[in-house]
Amino acid sequence: MFTLENLNIQPIINACGTVTRLGGAPLRQEALEAYQSTSLQAVAIEELQTAVSSQLAIWTGAEAGIITSGAAAALTLGAAAILAGTDTAKMDRLPDTENMPNEFIMSRDHRSGYDHAVRASGARLVEVGLNEVVSGAGVRRTEVWEYEAAISPKTAGILYVYTSDSAPSLSDVITLGQQHNIPLLIDAAGELPPPSNLKMLASSGANLLAFSGGKAIGGPQATGLLLGQKKLVGSALLQMLDMDDHPQLWQPTLLEKNELRGMPRHGIGRGFKVSKESIMALMSALDCFLREDNSQRMASMAGILSDLQSQLETVGIQCHLVWPNVETIPKLHVAAKDAFQACQRLRDHSPRVFVGHGLLDQGLLTINAIALHEHQLKDLSESLINCLCDN
């Protein structure tokens, strides 16, 4: 077997979390077994995705759903579905959106590098509101009337990034979209756990939802979920499938043939193809994710971090366990005199340790236990003590 060692790659201790740059979360054993067994069989991918859609509808309450090659791919495909609908000529044009509605209204304080996935479809983002809270210039965040004021004949959809404290409220933005018949695409990539968010968001009235499959669910890192209205999900599926077949033989599944002017060619999502193995691995992981006791899983992570906290505090390192909601992932904040230097020393240490770096400018290292293995805990503790006590 060809291994990381053959490439002189040293495995790391991932105390950062489910980030893509470190390979995401550990793959569930059930997902690995599904991947292996599916690799031995051939299936028609469109039929497989259609069967998956029916199961996802049962699990989440959404009209339909497909497996994508990540949450970013789900966002690109979701935006493409809103832009093109069932118009195969528009599917063929993307990302050229000239002379067609192509604007997605978005709150300025929802912007991030991840919205490049939506722009990749050919969509143009129209920012509304002011980021006064972050700039320290005020207390107001974006308000619904500002979305409404931006609606024009060029408006294709609304892009909303969901978190527990997103503003304005999701329900108010959904109501606005429904009043003006403007579809809403939600980026909820990292909003699992809790598992209840799947059903809550799927039943919210949003048209499309994007989730990551390689984070807390425990599926392959390059997988995601696109859930929502059947017609839009069907459009997204058509724009990612291998369409090299005869029109006389082709029978679409999520959409009716008479809804289309013809058989589309390879769409903008063709490069986002997802393998049959990855599809079934994520479905197996999601099945486990929905059946397990999430609060117990989170409590187990909190216990690991509490033990680590005790070990670090014994040698004078200040720590603080952050766990405001028992259904969400706990984190340990570890103080460092020079957090940037400490972070670099951990990366250069043997074994190499990667910690969360989001609060380095506040003098804090962040420890997330979701990607840690039991055999790594002793090395993690010793590495932190070695690097921080000399910091």
Q: What is the pLDDT of residue 369?
A: 97
Cα-flanking dihedrals φ and ψ of residue 179, to 5°?
Answer: -65, -35
Q: What is the pLDDT of residue 178?
A: 97
Pairing of strands 224-228, 319-322: unpaired
Q: List, for residues 279-301, the tens digit of each pLDDT value.
A: 999 999 999 999 999 999 999 99
Per-residue pLDDT, averaged over 25-38, amounts to 97
Q: List, for residues 184-213, the tens digit of each pLDDT value.
A: 999 999 999 999 999 999 999 999 999 999
Q: What is the pLDDT of residue 136?
A: 86
Q: What is the set of domains in the chain, with CATH numbers?
A: 5-21+293-389 (3.90.1150.180), 42-291 (3.40.640.10)
- Say yes or no to pLDDT of 171 above 70: yes
Q: List, for residues 333-359, the tens digit of each pLDDT value.
A: 999 999 999 999 999 999 999 999 999
Q: What is the pLDDT of residue 134?
A: 84
Burial 59-74 (b: 16+ CB within 10 A, else e): bbebbbbbbbbbbbbb
Q: What is the pLDDT of residue 391?
A: 58
Count Cβ atoms below 10 Å from residue 233 Cβ, excluding itself.
28
Are the C-beta atoms of 356 and 282 separated by less than 8 Å? no
- Say yes or no to pLDDT of 390 above 80: no
By percentage, how much of the chain surpasses pLDDT 90? 96
By percentage, how much of the chain surpasses pLDDT 70? 99
- Say yes or no to pLDDT of 309 above 70: yes
Per-residue pLDDT, averaged over 7-14, amounts to 95
Q: List, for residues 54-63, the tens digit of each pLDDT value.
A: 999 999 999 9
